[in-house]
Amino acid sequence: MCVQFLQDKELLPSLNDNNNRCTKVRNNKECGGILKKCERTSKKRNSYGIFKKYISFKCSKRGCQTYCSIRKQNQFFSYLDLNNRCHSNLSLTEIMELVWHWTHLVPVHQVVQFTGRSKNTVVDWFNLCRDVAIYKFDKRSKLGGKDVIVQIDESLFKGKRKYNRGRLRCGDIRPNEVTENDTDDSDDTEDNNINNTVGAKNYGTQKRDKATLLPIIKNEVELGSIIHSDEWRAYSSLNNEGYIHSTVNHQKWFIDPDTNANTQTIECLWKIVKKRYEIKVNGASPLLPRQLKEDWWRSLHPNKQTIFDEFLSDMKDAFMT
């Protein structure tokens, strides 16, 4: 049933057509025989003591008859870790269960309880899920464009001193999604604001000076975009770099009455990130860049009803060969 589901999502090859060919190399020649569906019996027993059955491919060419896993075309399911250990000791259903938990932000210790998997197994699979988000981050397109407002905020995570890092975060708002922000700081407002922000992005940066931040902005934001930021001096030359720049002095205003600029949405995002990773308590961990990329991916998928399907679609982009 799980196999059929994954085939429908194009995450596994179809089993009944003749498009799947054997790649076994013998005498420097690839076999090329047609792979046929077959049922194999596992060497492992299930919890009832019965040997598990599973579906596999078998080469139909005479003299070859090699078995080939149906997972081979999707490297998510046939992933090898740093020690060359294959993670496919779990069934596809068991893997998809862990993926579901990851997409729904279920904490690791609860997943261990719900599934009976070890903590290491859960952490390994969660890391692999995060790779999908990071793949999408690395393939992202530039923010902004003509008439699109991009908000830029720089924020220093305050925590343990040795991990202090300045970070630049950009988010853009499509013109028809710009809404009037009030100055209410309640949680509801934060949620609304996060939905108004299209494609928030995070960057780990060592320094917060112009030489560090300007190349990032030029790399990430389309020329001609309208940039909203605070009055911090590293942004002062943006108007000379092909952007329309307005500033907001957020110590005085959330929305600047003269220029209509606001950076409130992005500041709310910061607040959420700092809270989620308990940065004030623990300091920023060395894993933070990966976590921020995951956070960026999640900001693109705010709907809990659809995030699982959206993840599977991104997995196809990232892992299907």
Nearest distance from C-beta of residue 26 to Zn ion, angstroms: 8
Which positions from 185 to 204 touch Zn ion by CB under 5 A, shown as an x/- string?
--------------------
Q: Which residue blocks in the chain are alpha helix, DSSP H? A: 2-8, 92-103, 108-115, 119-138, 187-196, 210-220, 264-276, 279-282, 288-300, 307-319
Nearest distance from C-beta of residue 24 to Zn ion, angstroms: 5
Q: How many CB atoms lie within 10 A of CB 277?
A: 20
The alpha carbon of residue 241 and the mean position of all alpha carbons in its chain are separated, in whole angstroms, by: 31
Of the candidate residues 11, 31, 269, 288, the single one contacting Zn ion (CB under 5 A): 31
The owner of tokens 């025989």 is: 33
Q: Which stretch binds Zn ion (CB under 5 A): 18-26, 41-49, 162-170, 171-179?
A: 18-26
> Of the two residues 64 and 300, which places its CB atom closer to Zn ion in the complex?
64
Of the candidate residues 11, 12, 59, 307, the single one contacting Zn ion (CB under 5 A): 59
Nearest distance from C-beta of residue 13 to Zn ion, angstroms: 16
111 lines the binding site for Zn ion (CB under 5 A): no
Helix (H, G, I), strand (E, B) or coil at 26: strand
68 lines the binding site for Zn ion (CB under 5 A): no
Of the candidate residues 61, 208, 274, 316, the single one contacting Zn ion (CB under 5 A): 61
Of the candidate residues 13, 33, 171, 199, the single one contacting Zn ion (CB under 5 A): 33
Nearest distance from C-beta of residue 83 to Zn ion, angstroms: 29
22 lines the binding site for Zn ion (CB under 5 A): yes
13 lines the binding site for Zn ion (CB under 5 A): no
292 lines the binding site for Zn ion (CB under 5 A): no
24 lines the binding site for Zn ion (CB under 5 A): yes
44 phi and psi angles, rounded to 5 deg? -95, 150
C-alpha 74/C-alpha 79 separation (Å) is 9
Q: How many residues bind Zn ion (CB under 5 A)?
A: 8
Give 144: exposed, middle or buried? Use CB within 10 Å, 0-12, 13-18, 19+: buried
64 lines the binding site for Zn ion (CB under 5 A): yes
Q: Which stretch binds Zn ion (CB under 5 A): 26-34, 233-241, 267-275, 304-312?
A: 26-34
C-alpha 38/C-alpha 32 separation (Å) is 18
> Of the two residues 57 and 243, which places its CB atom closer to Zn ion in the complex?
57
168 lines the binding site for Zn ion (CB under 5 A): no
In our burial notation (b when 16+ CB lie closer than 10 A, e otherwise), range 71-93 reads: bbbbbbbbbeeeeeeebeebebe
Amino acid at 220: E
The owner of tokens 């259903």 is: 93
C-alpha 255/C-alpha 263 separation (Å) is 8
| Site for Zn ion, rule CB under 5 A | 22, 24, 31, 33, 59, 61, 64, 66
